[in-house]
Amino acid sequence: MNLHGREIKLFAANSNPTLANDVSTYLGIPLGRADVGKFSDGETSVSVYDTVRGCDVFVIQSISEPTNDNLMELLVMIDAFKRASAGRITAVVPYYGYARQDRKAKGRDPITAKLVADMISVAGADRILTMDLHAPQIQGFFNIPLDHLVGATLLTPYVMKKFDNNYDNVVVMSPDVGSIKRARNFARHFNAPIAIVDKRRPKANVSEVMNIIGDVEGKDVIIFDDMIDTAGTLVGAANAIKDHGAKSITAAATHPVLSGPAIERIAESNLDEVIVLDTIAVPESKRIPKITVLPSGGLFAEAISRIYSDKAISPLVDT
């Protein structure tokens, strides 16, 4: 593909090869040839074999586990393209790691989300494409243009089909007070009310008490969030919802971090189904029957095509 004198080139590091291949297939553009590995001492090694001079380069890499290795792969690849005189470099980061460190919760805390944004910019990226940042204000941490997709664009049609387009009994649940806006935006597609989990820890080393604000008795509850990490909050919310008489409990989230005991917790929980996207690679060992992984490659491919063609991204954003 060649537009206004610039050829488009796609590259991928090691975090999510399946997603990168899906993007390549949707666009009909082969992934560029590059080796991304390690030297014997553990340093990141990158060798690019395709010419990128003057090209519009898109490098696909989630900052997921192993987080530091994947971040360094992204930075070193960007640096390689910059030094090879690429015309424009877009970092396609389906999952932006370190996003939860977005403010100083107490004295002497780092704001690592800003640090990572600076690192990507300094490495040589001209813009970034990502999805569902943990906190919207992180968009302002970048000194380069940022295009922000939302996972609800892909999650909503699946959930609609799941309930056969009949949402009279649906309630959308926010797992905490901070996610109310995200849950409300999702709920409007179903014209559904929202409920909130109010988490409180009475004192140190005492289990959280989860209070449900809203009516969930006899309802089909959808817990909606941006990510699932250890699944402690999710499973605790599901248990509380079940205790309040919910008919069914579904979770929908964009990013399947699924660290630590997450899989075991989900498997043994009151959750009927957990729906996630493939912004983070989910290995077969974690694909238990309760977890449904939806592809996101088509949406990222369309966004890349629009960026390359200098067209608006806003038609893709379902807020």
- Mean of pLDDT values over 108-137: 95
Q: Catalytic residue at 247?
A: no
**Of the listed 82, 104, 106, 199, which one is catalytic?**
199
| Per-residue pLDDT tens over the stretch 151-162 | 999 999 999 999
Q: Cα(225)–Cα(234) distance, rounded to whole angstroms?
A: 9
Does 152-294 match 2-150+297-316 at the fold level?
yes
Average pLDDT rounded to a whole number, residues 41-61 = 96
Per-residue pLDDT at 263: 97
Average pLDDT, the chain: 92
The H-or-E segment that residue 113 falls in is helix 112-123
Nearest by Cα to 301 from 115, 154, 186: 154
Amino acid 184: pLDDT: 93
Q: Give the contacts of 94 (CB within 8 A, at least 6 positions apart).
A: 16, 19, 60, 62, 130, 131, 279, 280, 296, 300
Residue 129: is its pLDDT beyond 80?
Answer: yes
pLDDT given at position 207: 47
Fold classification of 2-150+297-316 is: Rossmann fold (3.40.50)
* 74-115 residue pLDDT tens: 999 999 999 999 999 999 999 999 999 988 888 899 999 999
- Tell me which of 206 and 90 has the higher pLDDT: 90
Measured CA to CA in angstroms, residue 161 lies from 71, 151, 156, 184, 279 at distances of 36, 16, 9, 20, 22
* Percent of the chain whose predicted confidence (pLDDT) is above 90: 84
Give residue-wise pLDDT tens across range 240-281.
999 999 999 999 999 999 999 999 999 999 999 999 999 999
CB 101 within 8 A of CB 110: yes
| HSE-up (13 A, CA, CB side) for residue 189 | 21
Confidence of residue 21 (pLDDT cuts 50, 70, 90): very high
The rounded distance, in Å, linking the Cα atoms of 93 and 224 is 22
CATH class (in words) of the domain with range 152-294: alpha beta
> Percent of the chain beyond pLDDT 70?
94
Task: Determine the straight-line distance between the first and last CA of the chain, rounded to whole angstroms.
Answer: 30
Closest by CA to 19, choosing from 255, 265, 313, is 255
- Mean pLDDT to the nearest integer, 219-231: 94
Burial class of residue 28 in the structure, from the number of CB atoms within 10 Å of its CB (0-12 exposed, 13-18 middle, 19+ buried): exposed
Residues 170, 246: Cα–Cα separation, whole Å: 10
**Predicted local confidence at residue 201, as pLDDT:** 59
112: left (phi over 0), alpha (psi -120 to 50) or beta: alpha
| Annotated domain spans of the chain | 2-150+297-316, 152-294
Give mean pLDDT, residues 54-79: 98
Residue 293 CA to residue 291 CA, distance in Å, equals 7
What is the spatial distance between Cα 236 and Cα 23, in angstroms, rounded to a whole number? 36
